[in-house]
Amino acid sequence: MKKSKQARRVSDNWKTQFGYYLMIIVPVLLIFVFHYIPMAGVYMAFIDYKPAKGILGSEFIGLLNFKQFFTSIDFVRVFRNTLCYNVANIALVNIFAGYLFALLLYEIKSKVANKIFHTCMLLPAFLSWTVVSAALLLILHPDSGMLNSLLEALGMHPVSWYQEKEYWPYIIMIAWIYKDAGMASIYYYSALLNIDTELFDAANLDGAGRIRQIWYISLPATSKVLCITLISQLGSILSGGISPFYELTFNNGVLYETTQVLGTYLYNGIGGGRFSFSAAVGLTQSIVGLILVLTVNTVIKKIDPESAMF
């Protein structure tokens, strides 16, 4: 009797949930084809891949590609740039600027004004880095750029921005904040909207100012979102994408000292035919990212189990 009841429940569940199962087939297939099947290519990191011989016919060299990467003159520079840029991106763009924008939006009580500002903040996220790069060129062009024109009008010498490496960490971070901070604010803004407004009213009656209300009400109420953002972002701390570094600088070798990251390093390696070496670098990225995600999630789980991602 029990087995027949369980079988009937399973059958009923399949009938009621059949539409949902159909909807999930395509996403599952896409994940399997584009994320799981390519994992077999990890083997390329351990061979001296020759296109003419194929993967199975190429010589197995073990960890030699990893050794070449860790002992190369580029390793320290590329690793330093990647780590510093992505830590700054997490701290300044995804947490500080995103949370600040969310707080500012939350303080706008007019629905019309809120919609206008919200739209203006989100629009840059839908621009490609190519468009942002073109706009930046109009500002920083050495001959006709707006910034150099302003410097000349003030009696200062123009700067050849695309030849001066020391300015680019600041330029890239400003462009990152402009493009991504608005989108980063959505999660925090949604969390702020779920806070009971009576808490703020009670705090006002007790004489708490806006800063104290943010510190004692807004931050604790959105701490789970902050933790999830931190965990998810740390997984890509050694990647961070190629577009801002490749498109904004036009992959200018003069600027590599402060702008070349693992993403552009991999791209240049693949373009130069160093497929096995690039596979080894990419595998290193993935392993470090996985370790960081598991470590941070474990630490957060011990501090506050409800704020952990898994």
Q: What is the pLDDT of residues 12-25, one digit of tens each?
A: 666 677 778 888 88
Average pLDDT over residues 103-108: 87
For residue 59, being part of any structural domain is answered with no
Average pLDDT over residues 56-69: 91
For residue 92, being part of any structural domain is answered with yes
Report whether pLDDT(259) > 80.
yes
How far is the C-alpha of 237 from the C-alpha of 234, rounded, in Å?
5
Average pLDDT over residues 114-142: 91
204 and 93 assigned to the same domain: yes
- 248 falls in which pLDDT band (50, 70, 90)? very high
Please give the structure tokens belonging to residue 113: 């004004």
22 and 131 assigned to the same domain: no
249 and 147 assigned to the same domain: yes
Tens digit of each residue's pLDDT (9 = 90 or more) over 171-214: 999 999 999 999 989 889 988 888 888 888 888 888 888 888 88
CA max distance for the chain: 92
pLDDT at res. 309: 67
Among 8-22, 99-113, 163-177, 283-297, the minimum mean pLDDT is found in 8-22
pLDDT at res. 9: 65
Q: What is the dihedral of CA 4, 9, 10, 16, to 10 degrees?
A: 150
For residue 218, being part of any structural domain is answered with yes
148 and 212 assigned to the same domain: yes
* 3-class SS of residue 60: strand
DSSP summary character for residue 89: I
Report whether pLDDT(255) > 70.
yes
CATH of the domain at 183: 1.10.3720.10
Average pLDDT over residues 59-73: 91
Report whether pLDDT(2) > 60.
no
21 and 123 assigned to the same domain: no
5 and 97 assigned to the same domain: no
- 54 falls in which pLDDT band (50, 70, 90)? confident
For residue 58, being part of any structural domain is answered with no
How far is the C-alpha of 147 from the C-alpha of 135, rounded, in Å?
12
For residue 50, being part of any structural domain is answered with no
pLDDT at res. 144: 87
176 and 292 assigned to the same domain: yes
Question: Please, are residues 197 and 113 in contact by the beta-carbon 8 Å criterion?
Answer: no
pLDDT at res. 134: 94
276 and 159 assigned to the same domain: yes
25 and 91 assigned to the same domain: no
State the DSSP H helix or E strand holding residue 47, giving kind and residue range, or none if neither. strand 47-48
Between 202 and 308, the higher pLDDT residue: 202
For residue 11, being part of any structural domain is answered with yes
Residue written as tokens 């790069």? 133
Report whether pLDDT(305) > 80.
no
33 and 152 assigned to the same domain: no
- Domain count for the chain: 2
25 and 132 assigned to the same domain: no
- 3 falls in which pLDDT band (50, 70, 90)? low
Residue written as tokens 């903040």? 121
91 and 5 assigned to the same domain: no
DSSP summary character for residue 308: S
Q: Provide the residue range defining the domain that includes 254.
A: 80-307
pLDDT at res. 139: 94
